[in-house]
Amino acid sequence: MKRIAKPVSFIIAFLILAFSFVSLFGISYYVGDNKHTVIKGFGDIDWGIDTTGATKLVLKSATDDEMSADSLKANTRVIKNRLAYFGLNDYEVYFVDDTDEIVVVVPRTIDCDYSSKGFVKLIAGKGYVTVRPSDDYTQMVIDESNAGAFVTPAGDTSKSVLLDSETIANASYFSYKPEGEDKYYYLNIAFDEQGTDALYTMTNSMTGKYYNQIISVWLDDLMLANPTVSEEISDGQLAVSGYSMTESKAKLYSAIISAGVLPYDMKIDSVQFVDPVAGYMVSDIFLIVGIAATLLITILMILRYRVFGGIALVSIIGQVAVLVAIISGFCIPGRTFLMDISGACALALCVVLSVISVSFIAHTLKENLESGMALRSAAEAAIKHSRKNIFDINIVLIIVALMGMLMFGSVGLTTAIFGGMAVSSIYNFCFVLFFGAVVNFFTGYLFPELMLRSLVNFKVFSKPSWYGGKNND
């Protein structure tokens, strides 16, 4: 049997428990009454529509004319694409042909500086971008992030449009942190060939009319930024920022711009809040049930497989910790994942998967010991025999989860077959299941294998009874 240094088992357990503590509890601090989160934990997970309620917005035609099914479908597709670009994974968008309505439903809790009401209004807006001379505005208001916002072009700004959405290829966002200063977030607008030429013509240092002049960028009637052109722009990339430009705002604006303009004008008919289906305490219930189930599994494993009860506990904690880190955004920064009941079910299934994997090794080892094999030989045989079973299970689940994400992540195909909820619930389930199966290669097999190889080197753990077998003496 391949020997592993004695301390390895304790080092693995310590690292997993340390990571789990950070992942589950997070790291944050307060400056006055303001909480600053460094690392998100379980309590920072955003829960979806079924657990926190939703904001429901109903759109109707801006005119009295009826909208065709094709028109409604075109607008619905743009709104869905905006939500997809933003990274929201729990929502409903559908149209009602008989009433000429488009219904947009998003969770009450969204990782955004805007409230769910303000968020959905922007997502469902026209989304028309203009670049204008100067920065005259009609009024300043306080937006939902308690920052000043300038609305409705005025004066010379309202009379001229230098560039618009027709020449925009896509948008993105990025951050920049000067040494010793706070981080700044930028919205980057990329123009097509026509827009690139026009932008260079107006900003070149020799003949550009707007070189060293202020221009303003507008999303519908909202001024996003008003930079002074201090250098010529020849690459067709217009990066803009402002004192109120946060990461979530830049992310939202880039999603709206990238998805394109709403083809047909619509107006907001109503906005209402929808109560949660499962209730607000679902996260607490899930946490309590999860802890109780983990303790019960550990006790049963100890009674049957002795040392493997501790290995199973470390495996379960590691599995849950990594998945919580992925869901909360600790491992995948910038991703907006909303946990719902289906995702919680997938997380529970991943815990079971981890237990099954450890049980494969434990049960095979026990059978080998009962057949009279020596401990080291029995352990080596158990590790090799379990490897294929664990590998096959994980690969099958990864393939199934990938197929689910590819199919049910396609909003057009999914809603056509299953309706609006299919994208959120089935996609969320497959998303958690996919990462659970990937993580299980480590927490369900590699780490238990290393811990077992390490433990058998200790004299105190060298007796078969520690692994559910009978001592030969």
**Same domain as 205, residue 155:** yes
Q: Can you give the residue range of the structural domain that contains 91?
A: 54-274
Whole-number Å distance between alpha carbons of 153 and 138: 6
Q: Are 182 and 188 in contact (CB under 8 A)?
A: no
Task: Output the pLDDT for position 129.
Answer: 96
**Same domain as 86, residue 12:** no
Angle between helices 69-86 and 116-123 (to 10 degrees): 130
β-strand pairing of 101-107 with 54-61: antiparallel
Q: Are 43 and 49 in contact (CB under 8 A)?
A: no
E strands present in 157-253: 163-164, 168-176, 184-191, 215-219, 222-225, 237-240
pLDDT, mean of residues 16-32? 86
- Asked whether the predicted pLDDT for residue 220 surpasses 90, the reply is yes
Task: Output the pLDDT for position 339.
Answer: 82
Percent of residues, the chain, with pLDDT higher than 70: 92
Whole-number Å distance between alpha carbons of 56 and 104: 6
Angle between helices 341-370 and 421-440 (to 10 degrees): 30
Please indicate, yes or no, if residue 192 is contained in any of the structural domains: yes
Which tens digit of pLDDT belongs to each residue from 306-332?
A: 899 999 999 999 999 999 998 887 776
CA 125, 131, 132, 133 torsion-angle sign: positive
Whole-number Å distance between alpha carbons of 79 and 43: 30
**Same domain as 290, residue 233:** no
Q: Are 452 and 376 in contact (CB under 8 A)?
A: no
Please indicate, yes or no, if residue 298 is contained in any of the structural domains: yes
Whole-number Å distance between alpha carbons of 338 and 105: 14
Task: Output the pLDDT for position 1.
Answer: 59
The CATH number of whichever domain residue 103 belongs to comes to 3.30.1360.200
- Asked whether the predicted pLDDT for residue 468 surpasses 70, the reply is yes
Task: Output the pLDDT for position 414.
Answer: 56
**Same domain as 39, residue 60:** no
Average pLDDT, the chain: 87
**Same domain as 65, residue 26:** no
Which tens digit of pLDDT belongs to each residue from 271-300?
A: 998 887 766 567 777 888 888 988 999 999
Q: Which residues are CB-neighbours of 430 under 8 A, at least 6 positions away?
A: 346, 400, 401, 402, 403, 404, 405, 408
Please indicate, yes or no, if residue 379 is contained in any of the structural domains: yes
User: Which of 25-34, 113-122, 183-192 shows the lowest mean pLDDT across its residues?
Assistant: 25-34
Q: Which residues are CB-neighbours of 141 under 8 A, at least 6 positions away?
A: 148, 149, 151
**Same domain as 283, residue 239:** no
Render 430-470 in DSSP notation, one character per residue: HHHHHHHHHHHIIIIIIHHHHHHHHHTTSSTT-SGGGGTS-
Please indicate, yes or no, if residue 3 is contained in any of the structural domains: no
Q: Are 45 and 324 in contact (CB under 8 A)?
A: yes
**Same domain as 302, residue 439:** yes
Please indicate, yes or no, if residue 48 is contained in any of the structural domains: no
Which residue reads 């948008």 in tokens? Answer: 171
Whole-number Å distance between alpha carbons of 324 and 304: 29
Whole-number Å distance between alpha carbons of 149 and 139: 8
Task: Output the pLDDT for position 179.
Answer: 81
Which tens digit of pLDDT belongs to each residue from 392-427?
A: 999 999 999 988 887 776 555 555 555 545 566 788
**Same domain as 227, residue 106:** yes
**Same domain as 288, residue 207:** no
**Same domain as 259, residue 399:** no
Among candidate residues 250, 274, 298, the one where a domain is terminated? 274
Q: Are 145 and 101 in contact (CB under 8 A)?
A: no
**Same domain as 213, residue 296:** no
Task: Output the pLDDT for position 409.
Answer: 66
- Asked whether the predicted pLDDT for residue 226 surpasses 60, the reply is yes
Assign 346 a pLDDT band (cuts: 50, 70, 90): very high
- Return the higher-pLDDT residue of 417 and 102: 102
Q: Are 244 and 149 in contact (CB under 8 A)?
A: yes
Task: Output the pLDDT for position 279.
Answer: 60
Please indicate, yes or no, if residue 49 is contained in any of the structural domains: no
The CATH number of whichever domain residue 364 belongs to comes to 1.20.1640
Please indicate, yes or no, if residue 472 is contained in any of the structural domains: no
Report the number of distinct structural domains present in the chain: 2
Among candidate residues 235, 255, 274, the one where a domain is terminated? 274
* Integer CA distances (angstroms), 120 to 158, 159, 190, 262, 419, in order: 26, 29, 24, 14, 20
Residue 364, classed as helix, strand or coil, is: helix
* Integer CA distances (angstroms), 203 to 133, 198, 242, 399, in order: 12, 9, 20, 51
Please indicate, yes or no, if residue 110 is contained in any of the structural domains: yes
Among candidate residues 228, 254, 274, the one where a domain is terminated? 274
**Same domain as 64, residue 184:** yes
